Amino acid sequence: MSSTAPTTAADEFAHRATPMQKVQSSLHRYPWLSPLVVLALLLVIFGVLGLVLGVGDLENLFKPGTISLMLQQTVIIGTLAIAQTLVILTAGIDLSIGAIMVFAQMFMANLAVYTTASNVTFMAGQNPVLAVFIGLIVATLAGGLNGFLIVRFNLPPFIVTLGTLSIFTALTLILFKARTIQGKEMPDFMLLMSTKLEIGPLTFTLGLIVMLLLYVLFAYILRGTAWGTHVYAVGDDPAAAELSGINVKRVLFSVYVVAGVVIGIAAWITIGRTAAASPNVAPEINLETITAVVIGGTSLFGGRGRLLGTLLGTFIIIVLDFGLSLAGLDQAYRVLAIGVLVIAAVAVDQWIRKVKV
Amino acid sequence: MTTTSTTQPIVQAKDLNKSFGRVIGLADCNFELYPGEVIAVVGDNGAGKSTLIKCLSGALTPDSGEMHIDGEEVFFKSTNDSRAKGVETVYQTLAVAPVLDISENLYLGREIRKKGILGTVFRSLDKKRMRKEAMQSLNDLGVLTVQSITQSVETLSGGQRQAVAVARAGAFGSKVVILDEPTAALGVNESARVLKLIRDLRDRGMSIILISHNMPQVFDVADRIHVQRLGRRAAVVTPQSHQMNDVVSIMTGAMTVPEDQQQLTPVR
């Protein structure tokens, strides 16, 4: 065979990367880079507007009290977004995350508190520790149901979770009759996640710390264990993963079960955060988790993304939320900004996928 | 030309039958692969090449007949069964995961965990060791033109990806590597590199089944050529005993080769 002279010339040409290509390949290697840049830009813009130009109450954004509140506010979206990241990494989507979380927290509260309004009074009045534990199991089983339907009957995750979204929303109303249980009715253990901890000038809650620990734990699981590698491989190319000897169905099923566990923990954290168990706690939560994941640089086509990006995506949503309202703008602008960011994030993802190194 | 040899075939199929409804894929098909040789399987479309190979790799289960690996009778129900017996298959479709890096791909499905509590309780992967050993096996095969072992596979060319897939097949103490049209999607230079890889694998003692439509490549690399026709073995010849157009004649049925002029025993 002839020598490789033309290939070398082509190689040389390929290595003359333009600045744009360098940006592209960096984003390709580090998917969390784009949310980091967006978050930094947001903080700079809000900083200039608030501290230099004195727009609205924006200067308050940088006070320890506001920062503490913003961090505490991330717990619901942030924790659920871990579950959503796992599912989206397998090229799936989970529309039922919010509904399962609400179902699980209502389950926990109705076990721990005796209310005449529910249809499950016969099992009320449990030990709160047992109530939380059973709630966790319920959420895990609900995740397992999603996984079972997707794997066993080869149904698209979008359709399955759209169905379970309705099912669990309805079950919440049927079993617990839409009655909000207030925090003051509940035993202390139910509200454990709202315990305040002073760290320097900031005030953390136990829920926030648990969320951050979950990020560390799942970042490790995704990058440091065989299961994590298999999640990426299955999301990237299920056929190739199967031929490599990976049991694709088992991996997929386990992802939905694990997502269920995380949703269960999020339910307990939510009771602490909102000091109540309410069926209308977070009506937008599903779209917000998907938004956090997508803004965070995880590809909706699967196999690409980092958990760190999701955490940054959650921060972006919360900072936008606080910043725009402190600037005196209507809630609608925040929704508008999120919409623009989501489309931009998906466009950037498509561009990154075409990378040539 | 036929020499009696006491060598036992590493892969042997006897009277395999497989039909799909009324379509006959294999009709009393025989096949032998001896240790350390490259056997090419050629045949016209519909001759049963793929069916034979799929039976050997466990992707299909034959209706009747026997298969032996190293003299031991085997019944493959899935590709994992054949892999467990040391038979690895490299698919035409480049079965690698593009977003994972080279070492992750080499070890996909058989990752190495750290020793001690980190590995058993925390399931921690020994990435350092996997990278080192992946580098070693790519070096052994002389395919290390890649910048780094942690480069994601999607940044590699088709030939480099195929090299990763072949290295993967050869890296885990496997005895037999089945290559299904490994050069079909590749350019001239890349094909040459993959053929060299096949020779290197053979020189390291591996036995190789190569399915190909490309006659020059078959004559370049094969020790023996198994010609499949109408679901059975029409002849086994060598690049020395027959010309390319002879092989084409056997494939199409225009020529038959008496058994005493065939090469049913290993040449190496």
B111 touches chain A (CB under 8 A): yes
pLDDT band at A230 (very low <50, low <70, confident <90, very high): very high
A224 touches chain B (CB under 8 A): yes
- The structural domain count of chain B equals 1
Query: What does the pLDDT read at residue B189?
Result: 81
Residue B22 lies in a domain: yes
Residue B118 lies in a domain: no
B74-115 per-position pLDDT tens digit: 999 887 888 888 898 887 766 788 888 888 888 888 888 888
Residue A357: list chain B partners with CB under 8 A: 151, 155
Residue B187 lies in a domain: yes
Note the ipTM here.
0.77
Query: What does the pLDDT read at residue A87?
Result: 98
Place of tokens 């509940």: A186
Q: Which of B106, B108, B168 to mutate to test the interface with A (most CBs of A within 10 A)?
A: B108
Distance between start and end Cα atoms, chain A: 26
> Which residue of chain A is at minimal alpha-carbon distance from B107?
A244
> What average pLDDT does this structure show over A121-127?
81
For residue A118, what are the contacts with CB-CB under 8 A and spacing of at least 6? Answer: A110, A124, A175, A176, A177, A179
Residue A349 lies in a domain: no
Number of Cα atoms under 13 Å in the Cβ half of residue B124:
13
Q: What is the mean pLDDT of chain B?
A: 86
Residue B199 lies in a domain: yes
Residue B184 lies in a domain: yes
CA–CA separation, A347 and A33 (whole Å): 15
The domain of B16 spans 11-97+173-261
8 Å CB contact of B123 and A225 = yes
A198–chain B nearest CA distance, Å: 31
Which helix (H) or strand (E) covers residue B52, if one does? helix B49-57
Residue B167: list chain A partners with CB under 8 A: none
Residue B205 lies in a domain: yes
Query: What does the pLDDT read at residue A4?
Result: 40
The domain of A103 spans 59-283
Q: Which of A243, A250, A306, A356 to mutate to test the interface with B (most CBs of B within 10 A)?
A: A243
Query: What does the pLDDT read at residue A261?
Result: 98
- The structural domain count of chain A equals 1
Which of A7, A224, A355 is closest, CB to CB, to B125? A224
Query: What does the pLDDT read at residue A2?
Result: 39
Residue A355: list chain B partners with CB under 8 A: 154-155
- Which residue stretches of A90-205 are H helix? 97-112, 128-152, 157-176
8 Å CB contact of B95 and A239 = yes
Higher pLDDT, A166 or A29: A166
A44-97 per-position pLDDT tens digit: 999 999 888 888 888 899 999 999 999 999 999 999 999 999 999 999 999 999
Number of Cα atoms under 13 Å in the Cβ half of residue A187:
17
Residue B125 lies in a domain: no
CA-to-CA separations, B137 to A66, B127, B165, B221, in angstroms, rounded: 55, 15, 12, 21
Higher pLDDT, B2 or A234: A234
8 Å CB contact of A357 and B110 = no
pLDDT band at B263 (very low <50, low <70, confident <90, very high): confident
8 Å CB contact of A229 and B113 = no
8 Å CB contact of B97 and A243 = no
Residue A305: list chain B partners with CB under 8 A: none
In this structure, which amino acid lies at residue A208? L
Q: Can you give the CATH number for the domain in which B29 is found?
A: 3.40.50.300
The number of beta carbons lying within 10 Å of the beta carbon of residue B268 is 11
Residue B135 lies in a domain: no
